[in-house]
Chain A
Amino acid sequence: MGEMEQLRKEAESLKDEITAARKAVQDLTLQDHVAGTAVVGRVQLKTRKTLRGHLSKIYAVHWGDSKLCVSASQDGKLIVWDSYTTNKVHAIPLKSSWVMTCAYAPSGNMVACGGLDNMCSIYNLKGKDGNVKVMRELAAHTGYLSCCRFLNDNEIITSSGDCTCVLWDIETGSQKTVFAGHLGDCMSLGVAPDFNTFISGACDFTAKLWDIRDGQCRQTFGGHESDINAIGFFPNGNAVITGSDDASCKLYDLRSDQELITYQDSGIMCGVTSLAPSFSGRLILAGYDDFNCNIWDSLKAERVGVLSGHDNRVSCIGVTPDGMACCTGSWDSFLKIWN
């Protein structure tokens, strides 16, 4: 047997062992555990604000705190909004209009974006003369930038169509760690609440959990039947939610290393573009290609609400850190604040 053939056989055998190890600890299912729990009552959120100003499709939105958020549009602008007043705090023109992602640093000092230029551009919002300028351009990915998230003012993690994720040192512009292992474009990433790990979702239909400091993939979750477009941590850091082109979302438990439940409905036949858990995690808000956003009871896997109001695909969604509101962004060029 050739070396390659031997390695392939070894890989298949290890995957079977992992499947068996997962089954061995499965002595209770989520469905059985919550059999006696009632579904939450109908959730009706209203549009409180519409943020108008972008001239083209919105691809990404990210909350900085519970008032300010940044959005990215293919009109070539990053806009930082005061969501309470709908005022534009900053309107930042981009070198490349093919932007796919944006992020707000936890400190509020910086924002970042990237897309088909394969780069992650970092902008300093607190420059001395009040002007917002490019602080750093992080270039090394050989594919589009699909997502980026700050760890702090000097470190950011990016995911790319080149199938890798990278941890960057912003000051030096260098790659500290390359996270390789996905067999398809990385589409989305989420950082754990304790900042020790992050998760990535990819076009190989899997989600991977990575240790930020040692660069290793700790866990891989399969089950989806198509590209994973959206991923997020559960608020307590012990579970992961994914959204896929296969029209479903899934909940994976990190401690038992397995899928707990799937959120799907025979009436939904279009892909999930984005998702966010509510403050407690009991609700999962998911944006779809059919212009709607469905609200799921995360424990009972039933739809308990819908956010309708956009005239095109809901491309991005985010819940404020204090859980008080969610923001949806759409290809119709508007952002809406709901609660």
Chain B
Amino acid sequence: MTQTRFYRTQNSEPEEDTKPTTTTTVTTGGGGRTAMRVIVPLQGVVQGRGGLVLGSVIPCALFYFLQLYLKRHRSNPTAPPSPPATETTPSSSSSSGQLTEISGLHRSLSRPLLSPRGSTGPAYISSRANSIVKSSDSPYYVGLKKVSEDPYDELDNPDGVIQLGLAENKLSLDLVRDWLAENARDSIIGGGGSGGGELSISGIATYQPFDGLMELKVAVAGFMSEVMKGSVSFNPSQIVLTAGATPAIEILGFCLADPGNAFLVPSPYYPSIDRDLKWRTGVEIIPVPCRSADNFSLSITALDRAFNQAKKRGQKVRGIIISNPSNPVGNLLNRDTLYSLVDFAREKNIHIISDEIFAGSTLGSEEFVSMAEIIDSEDFDRNRVHIVYGLSKDLSLPGFRVGVIYSFNENVLAAARKLTRFSSVSAPTQRLLISMLSDTRFIQKFIETNRERLGRMYNEFVAGLKQLNIECTKSSGGFYCWADMSGLIRSYNEKGELELWDKLLNIAKINVTPGSSCHCIEPGWFRCCFTTLTEKDIPVVMDRIQKVLQTCKSRS
């Protein structure tokens, strides 16, 4: 089982130090606290005191044992003697990634898959599938599951779990609903009862362009400008629509990087990007840690260091992924930082993916600057800049699955358009959104009201935490605050953090996201989404946290 565990560590699920089997790899990674967060274990080995020797000996040894294992367990003598060479060819650059891929092969699942009816043995599924089937036990997913099993409801289930772990916005849904009730009657198949309207059933039933209807692209471009307060205009022909931001990120991953290549991602970053980006593409993520001392702001020096380390390892870095407003911290990237990012990308000849999915959900007065604006104002080869957007957050319609790739690179657009055949937006939803987004008066009012409500909730929530002596970083955007509970954890490490998380989930019954799920290198930080609440819920949440705090007092 060693290798299976090993893979999960590599997958950066925050559970490394709890699994005894991984400790050999992990503790060599330099010792002390940093060891805990080693993302690619072998990377850790190489950088740590073990140095190059261990870094090469361990993988070789593991690989050798694996081959032995495969040889011994090839039960069917008639099967082709497929040499390990064939299995290892696909990924060539990183030996660790390769190793773990193979180690996932057929084993962890073979036993449960053995059907009593089958006489010939287990059904082998792919190692890609094996790698993920059991990976859900990261706290982020555990928490979400817990809420879905026992959701809080003021009247029906007052003892249920309160959701603070999902970045969805319930604050302004009434506005959308009212619009629909008044206006949407004919938006799907137009023309009312006559059936002879401009848009008949064939306008939604038949094949439509996979990358989205042009009318919707025009409407989305308008919405994006509106959300960014007119500071920049978007060209609809540079838009590719996908079924949510999840496939948008993945498609960019497929287009910009080959298996084994890597993206630099400033951490903490939002938890699901690991799965969204890496799983099927075979692309790697190199977290670039930001620190509380700098208010978790991005440092070009750290990026540069990570880039050079990757280069030394022989790993090709294809780009950098930022989220702006940042998820989970909630800070914005200012103009200067964006310019230096662009310079950095140019110097290293890599791409920039800017996830701006919260652009319209800003708090307070700080100005949001889109990467598109920087590109507009700068004489810069735009081909390397790609923006990800969606309607899940700013229009609070995650169920509608509309994601946006906005790129300046014709080749990326061409490939992405073709790749949308695997994940396009269903036509009835497109038609509906076209009429909604084209109602500019409604949209303006929506954005304004939503911002207002968001700001109010944020202030109340943060004030509530403050009364409990829990401080948050100053947030300028997003549906969450980034709360510092490091003073409340029993031991200043990931274990301590997860202990507190567990208490919050199981005793206080609130689901927050622990910093370790976001690859935060400092323990004790938590992301709390407040947009799933109503104002009435805030005292309940604070009450529940308070109860847990009392049990934590012993430390101080």
**Do the two chains belong together in a single complex?**
no
Could you tell me which A residues sit within 8 Å of B by CB distance?
none
Could you tell me which B residues sit within 8 Å of A by CB distance?
none
